[in-house]
Amino acid sequence: MAAQKGKDLLLKIHDGSAYVTVAGLRSRQIAFNTETVDVTHAESAGRWRELLAGAGVKRASVSGSGVFKDAASDALIRQSFFDGAVQNAQLLVPDFGTVTGPFQISSLEIAAEHDREVTFDIALESAGELAFVAL
């Protein structure tokens, strides 16, 4: 597999009729996690920890940072955050797949220096079952 362009990893939020790409993002990251369920007991082989397969809670976290563009996606993100809404989001990862499902914006930070551009940082947490489609 050849190296992929970072700009091709896209975060999209559903606006009620279509997925809108979050404008201005310079960096983005997704993390998949699952909690482990420890079932180790006195008779565990060699006293090694044993984990229960498929029992932990799964979650995905998405984060990104970029330049505030005053685009339609900025208004959608702002309103979603202040409403505490759970929105359908889509993350397209080149040569990996597409992750789609409900997310809630857990953090929205806006920053600026007097001689620089306005920037923002955003974090989303999964809020239900996610669908994955491999490319």
> Tokens in use for 76?
């959608």
Phi, psi of 57 (to 5 degrees): -75, 130
How many structural domains compose the chain?
1
Specify if 49 maps to a domain.
Answer: no
DSSP state at residue 72: H
- Residue 121 in any domain: the answer is yes
Residue 44 lies in a domain: no
Q: Which of 119, 128, 87 is nearest to 105 (CA)?
A: 87
How far is the C-alpha of 77 from the C-alpha of 117, rounded, in Å?
Answer: 19
In a domain, 28, yes or no: yes
* pLDDT recorded at residue 6: 80
Whether residue 108 lies inside any domain: the answer is yes
Give phi and psi for 73, each to the nearest 5. Answer: -65, -30
> 107 in a domain, yes or no?
yes
- With residue 81 as reference, give the H or E element that holds it: helix 72-83
pLDDT-based confidence at residue 3 (cuts at 50, 70, 90)? confident
Let me know if residue 54 belongs to a domain: no
34-40: long-range contacts, CB 8 A cutoff, minimum separation 24: 34/58, 34/59
Average confidence (pLDDT) over 13-34: 93
Q: In the structure, what pLDDT confidence band is assigned to residue 132 with cuts at 50, 70 and 90? A: very high
Look at residue 35 and tell me whether its pLDDT is greater than 70: yes
H/E segment holding residue 12? strand 10-14
Predicted confidence band of residue 26 (pLDDT cuts 50, 70, 90): very high
| CATH number of 84's domain | 2.30.110.20
Q: Is the pLDDT of residue 47 over 70?
A: yes
Report d(CA 66, CA 74) in Å as an integer. Answer: 11
| Domain extent for 129 | 6-33+60-134
Domain assignment of residue 41, yes or no = no
